[in-house]
Structure 1
Amino acid sequence: MTTFFKKLRSTYIYHWIIWIILIFFKLIMDYSVFGNFLFLMNIKIFMVSIILFYIHYYLFLPFLIRQTPKKIFIITISFIIIYVGLMIIFLPPMPKHPPFNTKDFSKTGKMLPLRKGMNIYDIFFKIGIFSIIFSTLLFFVDKWIENGKKIKALEFERQSSELKILREQINPHFFFNALNSIYSLSIIQSKDTPRVILILSDIMRYVLNTKSTLKNNLNDEISNIKKYIEIQSIRFSKFNNMNYEFYGNFDAYEIEPLLLLTFVENAFKYADLKKGRLEIKVHLENGTLNFFISNFYENKSYESNEDSKLGIENTKMKLNLLYPDKYDLQIDNNGSEYKVNLKLQLN
């Protein structure tokens, strides 16, 4: 019962707005024609209309749409035949004399109502036809709105499921690459290995804590990327051609977790630092995030590697799901240098 009243207050509240408008319009029309609001008569008319409306709306139409098309046709035709037949039976006789004469007109020129009451014909046929047509129209409008909401809800469920799958796919990929970095350091017995393990544990904690969240603070996301860069900088410490720029008030915005990390991972995984510079630039201005990354590589393209393809395709799907029409992703691969330029509107 509580759900029913909530439905009346929310989903069908515009019904009552329409009824109020119709009553107000009818009163004004009667006053303009007859010089009288005919308040009591109009209240009776609309009370009958509302009762017939919701009987048809909540009982007959829901029953009808549950039937097969053949039954719907038979029931509809039968209803029309019975309805028209009853109209003919209860049709009042035509008056022998005109229902009014010149004395019925007021001095102001307003017309008087033809009759003061309502008979069975008026209630069930004149008012009934209006109620049936009106309730049928609103019933299917409401069903259309309700189906639209269901479709949106199902689409949201589908997107949420896809997003969850994408998140689960990228995490093992990330840990595999990070462990490779530690393995490389352990082979050369680097003194920085304990520090790298400590940094990686922070990154793992961050990644695991983001599984249940929709979006993360952008500043936390950038901090996580910086930690990953620090691990790779230790690994490639003998090279002096890596450049990183971070600019903007990152703390004021949120972003999908690990959205940018895939490109950073791929850059370090395939970079040939002997061949050229590795650059990462992250600028935030007026709610627009500009992410740029470039690196040189040797005799290998990202497209020929399944891990790289998986990570990039996942990122593209995330952008399509979460930021439709709010991003511009340009990827350029000329055979020796790989560039990624992403512009993302966050506000």
Structure 2
Amino acid sequence: MKTFLKSIKTIYIYHWIIWLVLIAFKLIMDYSVFGQFALLMNLKIFLFSILFFYLNYKLFLPYLIKQKPRKITIIVVSFVVVYVALMIFFIPHFPQHPQGRPPFPPNDFPRPDRMMRFRKGPDFHDIFFKIGLFSIVFSTLIFFVDKWRENQKMIKALEFERQSSELKILREQINPHFFFNALNSIYSLSITQSTDTPRVILILSDIMRYVLNDKNGQKNNLNDEIINIKKYIEIQSIRFNKFNNINWQFYGNFEAYKIEPLLLLTFIENAFKYADFKKGPLDILIDLKDHILKFNVKNFYEIKPSERTDNNKLGIKNTKMKLDLLYPDKYNLDINDNGSEYEINLTLQLD
């Protein structure tokens, strides 16, 4: 509320500054011609202008846009009639600068050689008609420009609210999906009674703590995300006993940037889920230079492409939606599938 009142106050300060500048400029221009009479003349003109401007801007137009078309026509016609009547019956009563010979006292009448050429007095009908018309047109223009700006702000606010809601839903979908796959990893180790099970549970608890540490929708430090990815790779390496068949390379100053949580991990998780290590290694590359992050993950698989698409549709689809919401025009995602090898290339511009 305070911010709104402050913005309104600022707007009207600008209004008064503009009015004062216009009045001062008009007085300076007219004083050399009409002398002291310019003060009275311009005072009346600008009072008339300000009256019409704000009556139209604050009362007439706000009321008009809420009415039905037929009623709008009646109101506009009535307004024109009142305006014309005002021009005919009210304006002539304004004192005008005398036309013809100036009203000098007989004894003070200047000599012909010292007299300046006297200009014809202003036509107040013409002046007030033009000023009134200008005030109405200008206030109407400003009114609709302000309305357009308000609508744009409202659209942006609604869009931001929509995106926030969608992002919240996506995060709520991804977290259970991640935990389900992580529990499968522990289950696989427990069946074989692996001695690594306690260690995997401990690492997984760290990952879960990181995943559940929701910072009110804020992005996480990229270095924390990389540490979390390394822990996940370690769990999967123990699970598959494939330390020599998992290649990962991470380069860059990760501390300096932030990223959406689990954005990269979703792709890595998907690669481990469908990887066939008998056919070839699983490769992961993260390369950060300046503010451009290049991410590549590649794995071989043996299931049919159609089955793969059905199974991993939710995770990949949600990640694409997150990229669209959080990094519009700041990313490029290529997914290549040749029937036996699945590769993801992501180029992401970080803030």
Scaled to the shorter chain, the TM-score interval is 0.7 to 0.9
Aligned partner of 2:105 in structure 1 is: none
The alignment's TM-score, normalised by the length of structure 1, stands at 0.86
Instruction: Give 1:322 shift.
Output: 1.1
1:13-47 per-residue CA deviation (whole Å, 9 max, x = no partner) reads 65445435534543454368769994565455334
- Out of 280, 283, 286, the residue aligned to residue 279 of structure 1 is 283
Q: Sequence identity, in percent?
A: 69
Question: Which aligned pairs between 1:1-347 and structure 2 lie closer than 5 A?
Answer: 5-10=5-10, 14-16=14-16, 18-23=18-23, 25-27=25-27, 29-30=29-30, 38=38, 41-90=41-90, 92=92, 99-100=99-100, 114=121, 125-210=129-214, 212-238=216-242, 240-301=244-305, 304-347=308-351
Aligned to 2:280, what secondary structure does the other structure show? coil
User: Mean Cα displacement is larger for which, 25-34 or 214-223?
Assistant: 25-34
Deviates more, 1:26-35 or 1:153-162: 26-35
- 1:11, CA displacement in angstroms? 5.2
Is the 2:45–2:128 contact (alpha carbons within 8 Å) kept by the matching residues of 1? no
C-alpha change, 1:46 and 1:287, in structure 2 (3 Å) is same
The alpha-carbon deviation at position 226 of structure 1 amounts to 1.1
Distance 1:33 1:276 in 2: 94
Corresponding letter in the other structure for 1:56? N
* Structure 1 gap segments, 5+ residues each: none
Aligned length: 341
Superposed displacement of residue 256, structure 1: 1.1
Q: Which structure would you say has the larger Rg? A: 2
- Cα deviation, residue 261, structure 1: 1.2
What is the TM-score when the length of structure 2 is the normalising length? 0.85
Alpha-carbon separation, structure 2, partners of 1:185 and 1:111: 107
Per the alignment, in what secondary structure is the counterpart of residue 244 of structure 2?
Answer: coil
What RMSD, in angstroms, separates the aligned Cα atoms of the two structures?
A: 3.4
Q: Deviations over 1:129-153 (max 9, x none)?
A: 3322221111111001101110111
Equivalent AA in structure 2 for residue 143 of structure 1: K
The offset of 1:225, in angstroms, is 1.1
Query: Structure 2 vs 1, CA of residues 39 and 194 (structure 1 numbering), >3 Å: closer, same or farther?
Result: farther
Distance in 1 between the 2:8 and 2:91 partners?
36
Q: Which amino acid aligns with 1:316?
A: K
CA distance in 2, matches of 1:203, 1:32: 82
Higher relative helix content: 2
Residue 78 of structure 1 deviates from its aligned partner by 1.6
Mark the CA change 1:303 to 1:142 in structure 2 (over 3 Å): closer, same or farther.
Answer: farther
